[in-house]
Amino acid sequence: MSVLPIIHESTDELTAIFKDLHAHPEIGFTEVRTAGIVADKLREYGVDEVHTGIGITGVVGIIKGNREGPRRIGLRADMDALPINEETNLAYASTNPGVMHACGHDSHTTMLLGAAKHLAQTRDFAGTAVVIFQPAEEGLGGARGMIKDGLFDRFPVDEIYGMHNWPSGDPGTFGICKGAAMAGASFFDITIQGKGSHAAMPQQSKDPLVIASALVASLQTILSRNVAPLDTCVLSVTQIHSGSAYNVVPDTATLAGTIRYFKDEVCTLAESRMRELCEGFALAYGVQINIDLRNIFDVLVNDADLSDAYMEAAADIVGKDKISSTDEPATGSEDFADMLKVIPGAYCKIGHSGTTGLHNPSFFLDPEILPVGASIMARIVERRLAA
Ligand code: NI
């Protein structure tokens, strides 16, 4: 078996949808046009129920199989774009300045539409398929927003599957990492309230820049001296803001950054050590230091058995030689993790011929993978609801 026939016949349509979405990218929670197209297409394909406005701009479609069955499979795609100015020169490049589908979520949306079309027109399964189009994956909490808005109470599923395009230069490869596959993430903001002065008379100041510099270095000791060597943890200070003149010691300095981890207890340890270091620095330097820590993504954990099931479904489409379960865990994060925290399932990467990295203004996604990804998503439903 290769690409499923109805999806194969729909290649031109899917490519047109993809290019249209690519030309009209929308930032998380403002995917009004995208969600409208998704809902219209689902209705056109004969999906039984289409629900909109879940988690602000999320869309859910329900497709009943032609055989009765109690089991329900969820498929999820993300719809949002990034605040990046596109530099691709594609004929269908973004027409929305400063916004770009640089992570390929336009392809994920299109592939799930393709899967929905196949499932709605063939219905060769026992039970229910639930197609979930999620807003705001890019650090804005779209998955949590949909869950909070009753996603799985209103549309319960027993298993859930998601997919991300991968610019590997190797089209049609299917990769999965069983267990903890992508890092959880916290973001932090630290404010050092010191005391300003003339830069030539620093003895009158409590210089927040000197304190900030020392704090950045000390925070790294959490990784080298607190987290166990065999546990993975990243702590990156990505912003320091302070000062506006050559001859003035500023009052305040702010720092911001992110923690990445694969075990919740490692995150708890890193966060509590950060708080202790901030308290200790405040005492040592006689200043006030406030820290705001926010958990943004859970650790993405792929269920081992369902990862195997996903690989078998993918093998039906791309062949056994293109399947791999030896992907390394990634320190990047993905908010499908928040769905996998409540529903068992699996998340895979699908390779394409593009080679420019995700989140790059020159990112290019090869539309040839659209029917492949769509077929794999449709196939996992047929396999899991075969009985
Ligand atoms: Ni993405």
Residue 373 has pLDDT above 90, yes or no: yes
Output the CA 4–ligand 1 centroid distance in Å. 25
Mean pLDDT across 219-236: 97
Confidence class for position 326, pLDDT limits 50, 70, 90: confident
Residue 176 CA, chain-centre distance (Å), reads 15
Per-residue pLDDT, 387:
80
The average pLDDT across 131-142 equals: 96
Which pLDDT band holds residue 327 (cuts at 50, 70, 90)? confident
Residue 20: pLDDT over 80:
yes
Residue 136 predicted with pLDDT over 80: yes
Cβ neighbours, 10 Å, residue 95: 11
Q: Whole-number mean pLDDT of the chain?
A: 97
**Centre of ligand 1 from the C-alpha of residue 101, in Å:** 9
Would you say residue 1 has pLDDT above 90? no
Give the pTM: 0.92
Mean local confidence (pLDDT), 114-135: 98
* Contact yes or no for 164/347 (Cβ under 8 A): yes
Q: Phi, psi at residue 28, to the nearest 5°? A: -50, 135
Q: For residues 220-246, give the mean pLDDT.
A: 97
Work out the burial of residue 341: count CB atoms within 10 Å of its CB; fewer than 13 is exposed, 13-18 middle, 19 or more buried.
Answer: middle
The Å distance, Cα 191 to ligand 1 centre, comes to 30
> 141 alpha carbon to ligand 1 midpoint, in Å?
13
Q: What is the whole-number distance in angstroms between the Cα of residue 164 and the centre of ligand 1?
A: 6
Q: What is the mean pLDDT of residues 26-36?
A: 98
Q: How many Å lie between the centroid of ligand 1 and the Cα of residue 154?
A: 26
Mean pLDDT, rounded, for 98-113: 98
Lowest mean pLDDT of 17-21, 248-252, 329-333, name the range: 329-333
Rounded distance from Cα 105 to ligand 1 centre (Å): 6
What's the 288 CA to ligand 1 centre distance in angstroms? 38
